[in-house]
């Protein structure tokens, strides 16, 4: 099974992905952004594009990697990645589904105000690249192409993970971490996934 978490930057995709990972035995978080960074540092500057998703090879690499992992791993793959272009979406996620893979997609929806608040908590202001993408992402992801939608304005990360698991009939392991450990895990995950460039 592949669980794909979509949403605007700051919606909580990565934190929710790692919450699911901690509580689903035999699960693995796959980050498609890594292919984008690889492409960006291994092509001539003249070929660079503003968004690495515009490179067809980015969609191809991630399709091949997910297909490859799914063919040899009997656990759950969790993929936190914003994809707002319906064509790119079909070329990647639609193609995975047409290949017979069991892909379940959730878009974490969040109001503009809450997104800005969450971005500020990770030291990204209104002028940041992520903040500048809010209106585009919110508008695109509202389309039914990107269902199932889960509003997380008033949900904790744990609650969002639990709703996704319940929708998929997955029984999560109990979370025995104390408050300090939960905070440290959240901060560690956040620091590991800082966007150093757009």
Instruction: List domains and CATH numbers for the chain.
Output: 2-192 (3.40.50.300)
CA-CA distances (angstroms) from residue 187 to 18, 75, 78? 12, 26, 20
Two tokens, residue 19: 């919450």
Give me the sheet containing 103-109, strands edge to edge.
27-29, 76-80, 2-7, 103-109, 149-151
pLDDT tens for 96-140 read: 999 999 999 999 999 999 999 989 888 888 888 889 999 999 999
Binning pLDDT at 50, 70 and 90, where does residue 198 land? very low
Question: Average pLDDT for residues 32-47, to the nearest whole number?
Answer: 96
Determine the longest span between alpha carbons in the chain, in angstroms.
51
pLDDT tens for 46-85 read: 999 989 999 999 999 999 999 999 999 999 999 999 999 9
- Contact partners, residue 174, CB within 8 Å, separation at least 6: 23
Residue pair 80/11 in contact (Cβ under 8 Å)? The answer is: no
pTM: 0.89
Q: Which of 178, 192, 189, 194 is nearest to 19 (CA)?
A: 189
pLDDT > 70? residue 194: no
Residue pair 63/94 in contact (Cβ under 8 Å)? The answer is: no
Binning pLDDT at 50, 70 and 90, where does residue 88 land? very high
Distance CA 69, CA 72 (A): 5
For the CA atoms of 45, 51, 52, 58, what is the dihedral angle to 10 degrees?
-140
What pLDDT sits at residue 176? Answer: 82
């Amino acid at each position: 099974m592949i669980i794909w978490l979509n949403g605007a930057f700051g919606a909580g995709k990565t934190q929710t992905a790692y919450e699911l990972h901690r509580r689903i035995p035999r699960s693995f978080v796959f980050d498609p952004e890594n292919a984008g960074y690889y492409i960006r540092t291994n092509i001539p500057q003249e070929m660079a594009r503003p968004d690495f998703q515009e490179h067809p090879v980015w969609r191809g690499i991630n399709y091949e990697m997910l297909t490859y992992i799914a063919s040899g791993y009997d656990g759950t793959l969790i993929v936190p990645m914003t994809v707002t272009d319906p064509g790119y979406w079909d070329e990647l996620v639609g193609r995975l589904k047409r290949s017979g893979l069991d892909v379940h997609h959730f878009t974490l929806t969040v109001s503009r105000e809450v997104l800005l608040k969450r971005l500020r908590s990770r030291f990204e202001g209104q002028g940041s690249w992520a903040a500048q993408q809010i209106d585009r992402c919110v508008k695109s992801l509202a389309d039914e192409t990107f269902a199932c939608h889960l509003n997380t304005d008033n949900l904790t990360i744990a609650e969002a993970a639990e709703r996704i698991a319940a929708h998929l009939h997955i029984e999560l392991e109990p979370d025995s971490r104390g408050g300090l450990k939960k905070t440290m895990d959240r901060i560690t995950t956040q620091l590991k996934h800082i966007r150093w460039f757009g």
